[in-house]
Amino acid sequence: MQLEVTTTSGAVRGSAQGSVRAFKGVPYAAPPFGDLRFAAPAPPAPWDGVRTCTDFGPTALKPPYPVPVDVLLPEPVIPGEDVLTVNVWTPDGADGLPVLVWVHGGAFVNGSGAVPQYDGTAFARDGVVTVTFNYRLGVDGFLHFGDDGPANRGLLDQVAALEWVRDNIAAFGGDPARVTVAGESAGAMSVVSLLSMPRAEGLFGRAVAQSGSGHFALQPATASRVAEALAARLGVPLTREALAAVDPAVLVAAQQALSQEISATPDPGRWGELVLNAMAFEPVVDGDVLPVLPVRAVQAGAGSSVDLLIGTNTDEHALFLVPNGFVDLVGEPVLAMVLGGYGLTPDALRPYRSDAPAATPGELMVAVATDWFFRIPALRLAEARAGAPGTTHVYEFAWPSPQFGGRLGACHALEIPFVFDTLGAPGSEALGGPDAPQELADVVHRAWVDFVTTGDPGWPAYDLTGRPVQVFGTLTSVTPDPRGAQRKVWEGVRV
């Protein structure tokens, strides 16, 4: 088995995993520290000899997930500064195979390409060269400095990783003309951002957006207020130089504290769109890297030639309301307040109550919040691409987890090990339980392999007449306009 590959920066040596070769921690950009702190990604320094790439590289600066999500979404923390690295899985003897590039989720403040559920072995086994990578998070990736530094450094990292794929993946057996970029949650929001960004044009021909779309990005005024609040909290000027001098642990702690403050004391006058989406460190519509809100760019035709697979999970918001017990604290007044915040009247609950007559106010809140944050934006994006040259396929992952007495349902992030065929990976049981159905993973994983390979996951493309959606559940079938009455509640409502 050939375990050495020559990249544009130097030779690397990987490891063998059966018939699959794995190369981990390969630099795609220079370490973003020192003079490169808060700068656009720079090319990695070339090296002599053969670099051993058998272990994941350091993870980006990040806080731990809050309790109890930290247990449900375990992720590694690997110290070091060489955080801008890729990981590649490829079959031995591969040549000209399709490529999947995975953008991890984590609300733009957590995550890495080293999460065990993202292991690319199964995709490589099935003929898809697979790449995961790290990008800068939180303050390092997304704090808005205005004129003092490039905006959206995390998105620029993603473009740099895709450029590395373009320039190097052929050496690993992949075809740079057959690249699919995919992601979940913030990774899916990143995918739709990339779909809308001129700098990413031509770097991929297919895209997968799991539980995230293009409706959320900060306006410059809001992003500037976040940056000013962080600098004030730290007692330093809002400059790259001043923030670079702050101890990283102190910086991350201040970032986390500010995010908690914004969530706990929503103030529309100060925090604008953050009152609802609660992600203080996310892409900003800066007019350059991200010219406009991604969904608006897609509606105007951006990325129209790219094939898109997009979908959501039935009970996304259960992850954020069930494990912490909040679902049982929600009463009718809180539910009414949430509806008002989303621009809905109490009558909007009728189709939700009709589908679940015994649902508590908290369970109804899960359904409504899931639609506002995830399902309706995904459908709006699919609707915006009606008639585009690139196909659009829509799915819903509906298999209910048995965890928490079955109340998690098909929650956020539950589908990931089904997509990657990694139900046995460490940490997967936390969300899916010990007996998650391998036969469903076989079906879901095959659909993703087929989409990456051919652009056809196995069901009809979405249209505005039949609205076909592939539902992956205990029973798997193509369903026309699932929960259409609930979808219609949102017509004319801004999401």
Selecting among 75, 184, 282, 316, the annotated active-site residue is 316
In the annotation, is 316 catalytic?
yes
Q: What span, in angstroms and rounded, lies between the C-alpha atoms of 156 and 162?
A: 10
Share of the chain above pLDDT 90, in %: 93
Range 332-350 average pLDDT: 94
In the annotation, is 15 catalytic?
no
- Which amino acid, 224? S
CATH number for the domain whose boundaries are 4-219+282-299 = 3.40.50.1820
Q: What is the pLDDT of residues 132-144, one digit of tens each?
A: 999 999 999 999 9
pLDDT of residue 266: 78
Torsion, Cα 210 211 215 216, to 10 degrees, reads: -110
Q: What is the pTM of this model?
A: 0.98
Residue 267 has pLDDT above 90, yes or no: no
DSSP bridge pairs for 17: 20
275 pLDDT band, cuts 50/70/90, is confident
Selecting among 112, 185, 401, 428, the annotated active-site residue is 185
Q: What span, in angstroms and rounded, lies between the C-alpha atoms of 302 and 191?
A: 13
Q: What is the pLDDT of residues 443-454, one digit of tens each?
A: 999 999 999 999
In the annotation, is 185 catalytic?
yes
| Contact by Cβ (8 Å): 425, 185 | no
pLDDT of residue 62: 97
| Contact by Cβ (8 Å): 480, 467 | yes
CA 225 to chain centre: 25
Q: What span, in angstroms and rounded, lies between the C-alpha atoms of 70 and 310?
A: 26
Range 378-400 average pLDDT: 97
Residue 147 has pLDDT above 90, yes or no: no
Handedness of CA 419, 179, 89, 103 (dihedral sign): negative
Give me the residue spans of the domains in the chain.
Answer: 4-219+282-299, 220-277, 307-489
Residue 22 has pLDDT above 90, yes or no: yes
337 pLDDT band, cuts 50/70/90, is very high
Q: What span, in angstroms and rounded, lies between the C-alpha atoms of 106 and 127?
A: 28
Selecting among 412, 415, 428, 445, the annotated active-site residue is 412
Check for a shared fold between 4-219+282-299 and 307-489: yes
Mean pLDDT of the chain: 96
pLDDT of residue 278: 85
465 pLDDT band, cuts 50/70/90, is very high
Q: What is the pLDDT of residues 1-11, one digit of tens each?
A: 789 999 999 99
406 pLDDT band, cuts 50/70/90, is very high
CATH number for 307-489: choose from 1.20.58.220, 3.40.50.300, 3.40.50.1820, 1.10.3720.10: 3.40.50.1820
Residue 268 has pLDDT above 90, yes or no: no
